[in-house]
Structure 1
């Protein structure tokens, strides 16, 4: 008869077995967690070491190709920005990328689930099993969710490109510059762009991006249209039936004269602006001023130097308040009124303030802001802008915009006291336009005795702009718009 074991020995044996089982459970748990971490860092590695090796090899090869491709794209984009821009605006490539991200999200999630299976969750202790399920679910949802969100953003960009830009043919630079007509118009049923609120030609150096903003007052009259145009035949001695901002209305009433035009009002306006300035317009962009405030809100506001109280309201309605003086970050609503307010001032003061807003937007919207607020910007821009710029030209203008951020923006406004808007001196206007462009390009020396900056001597401020109607406004005539504002 074998000797009976003592109670103390049985307790020690049970404790040893428990300790061994506990260590084994911890090992299984660490193994299960390691498989999930491996899937996060190197998708397919968990299958390669403990599961279906064929699936593991395929996943790792795909992952390696994607990583190498991504790194090469980053390096090439840093050296040649045009490559990144072209990829970002190509609808076909964006569509493929979107599908790829969606498939990647599904495949990566499947690898996480398989890694959880390989970790044999049923052999784990209950607390370890719950922890493994929680970690796997968190990693699976985080990775797949991030990829699906990326697919959503890519889809937004693709839709933005398809809805915003045309498929027309690109035009070359004229005398080394691209001239883009920027038109501000009020929104509303049946009155989109009916009477432009503002008209500015952005003349952009095709190599350096150096920009000159040339603004035309909406109340200019008795001006010629460019030679050979339809409007020139109708008004050989100048447009004397309305103001410049009424050209689009006249053309809209005589569409039979523009049988091949999709936008007779804009085309007729361009004929007038080319006749006035002597510049050949490449493209146009019409901005819905009411939608503009959504864009400002999308980028988080714009910082402007408010030099005098700016009325909110007016233009036929009651003034409801004022934007107080100071360097202020304005939201979309106040920025719009800063640019549009005319109560207590005049059109030319407003033109000066509009240039300050354009300059602030150019200088303050960084690539980081554009990326972090991309969806809001795309949504606001789609509702705000109509343009004939072809999608193929977007990378070029994006590159020029980045170059322009580091340079001074010059400005020229064809307004009193330099120009009599009721009877404009067209040769003088063309001379001033040429001089402004030559100074911006550095091919014309500055005058030995420059004119006093408008408003710099008397400190007069009317409607928020330095200067006055009689002396001119600083932001309307400046080689450095940033300082003038």
Structure 2
């Protein structure tokens, strides 16, 4: 039987007012309940079915996320899924607004006295504004995420972990107005255990000479004796591989990223590792990204100049504990070479990477997502496919719980002008083996950083006899920059 419309004229006015407020609050807490109580029960039941279905989907995704976190993130991060979520949020906003309007109608505001009618009308309007505004804003965030994934992550082939590890090449590209083309001045391989997320950062100096290329590649055919072009040993360094390949695209037919491909191949030959993916970050835009996340906090052992080189020094980032750096100062901390060396700068860059990994919390990502996504679209280029986003997000969450270790192929162990590449590959393998031993319960048996990090002084006492020459720029300092010849806890380097 259809529900009879109640006659509110027999109720006292204060009771009618309280009833009107109750109907609006019921719609806010449990959409459709006002219709069940005083309106169309059939409409209310349909609303309850929709609400129950949405709750069931959310519960299913939460349970799935607990069981299979990476797969759940991969599913939710797909552009198609995000578009569907965006549509659902907009439909919910419209539907919920309609329920509020209907609840207001059911309350029969014309039977209320003027002040009560005004309060009821204002409350209904506020609830509509808050609920609809929240859902529309959520749809905007979802659309930003979809746009971010579509813009930054491609649809390329996924690359399987090699020997249980993902090796990702991180490049900091400097394409400022005073530079011709992009030249990656910062190159670090993040070697990540595919099961635990434990990470080793392998730093490679930009001025590494005579770099080889894997046999059979186009660059190996061009440079069979290493990257020496027309005997320009002073210019043919590791960071120039990118520019050379970008200027000789004919060597890479059909490849949209010749610079990244050639650099990846060179680093594979240098380290002996298979590089799964690359990430190229424009250093100038990196400032905006750091500003979007609210900056980072570091312990700084030595003051770092702002400026220098071809421009005057404008100031300093002073030494001290718990120094909070915004994007501008964090960028200069990572890239400054004045009054220091390339190798010192490499150590500072590792400090910045480690700080971002440890300090970028999920709540920060959620509350500042639009700024992060907007900045990232401008500064990040990668060949990681969108389908692997969940895998690496999952690994990043695990990596936050573990100390990051590092190895840098720098003097005095490695003479960058005439490198011993076999020694570099050996040291890289040793660094990874030591990191993996922690996951197997070695050096304490708990799988965590139970060993005391090796100090920078102890790691440089026994340089290879074939590489005892120290470049003039590698003078030891009191900053956290003395290059390590083994595996070190990055946190200990940054706090030196």
The match for 1:58 among 36, 40, 46 is: 46
Matched-pair contact (CA < 8 Å) for 1:454–1:466: no
Do residues 437 (structure 1) and 429 (structure 2) align? no
CA separation of 1:449/1:404 partners in 2, compared to 1, >3 Å: closer, same or farther? closer
Counterpart position of 1:33: 21
Deviations 1:147-169, CA, capped at 9 Å, x for gaps: 11111111110111110101011
CA separation of 1:42/1:461 partners in 2, compared to 1, >3 Å: closer, same or farther? farther
What secondary structure does 1:370 align onto? helix
Do residues 350 (structure 1) and 345 (structure 2) align? yes
Deviations 1:396-424, CA, capped at 9 Å, x for gaps: 11111111111111111111000011110
What secondary structure does 1:196 align onto? strand
The match for 1:176 among 149, 153, 164 is: 164
Bigger drift between 93-102 and 310-319 goes to 310-319
Do residues 220 (structure 1) and 230 (structure 2) align? no
The match for 2:480 among 466, 471, 479 is: 466
Matched-pair contact (CA < 8 Å) for 1:284–1:388: yes
1:194 is displaced (CA, Å) by 2.1
Counterpart position of 1:104: 92
Do residues 244 (structure 1) and 247 (structure 2) align? no
Counterpart position of 1:274: 268
Counterpart position of 1:317: 311
Q: Tell me, in whole angstroms, the C-alpha distance in 2 between the residues paired with 1:326 and 1:38.
A: 55
Q: Which runs of 5+ in 1 are unaligned?
A: 1-20
Matched-pair contact (CA < 8 Å) for 2:77–2:389: yes
Matched-pair contact (CA < 8 Å) for 1:88–1:94: yes
Counterpart position of 1:301: 295
What secondary structure does 2:191 align onto? strand
CA separation of 1:315/1:37 partners in 2, compared to 1, >3 Å: closer, same or farther? same
Counterpart position of 2:447: none
Matched-pair contact (CA < 8 Å) for 1:200–1:213: yes
Deviations 1:13-43, CA, capped at 9 Å, x for gaps: xxxxxxxx99711011111111111111111
Counterpart position of 1:427: 422
Per the normalisation by structure 1, the TM-score is 0.89
Counterpart position of 2:391: 396
Deviations 1:237-259, CA, capped at 9 Å, x for gaps: 11123111111121122211111
Matched-pair contact (CA < 8 Å) for 1:224–1:237: yes
Per the normalisation by structure 2, the TM-score is 0.87
Task: Report 1:25-174 matches (<5 A).
Answer: 25-174=13-162
**Greater C-alpha radius of gyration:** 1
Number of equivalent positions: 458
What secondary structure does 1:286 align onto? strand
CA separation of 1:413/1:238 partners in 2, compared to 1, >3 Å: closer, same or farther? same
Counterpart position of 1:410: 405
Q: Tell me, in whole angstroms, the C-alpha distance in 2 between the residues paired with 1:63 and 1:192.
A: 57
Matched-pair contact (CA < 8 Å) for 2:406–2:490: yes
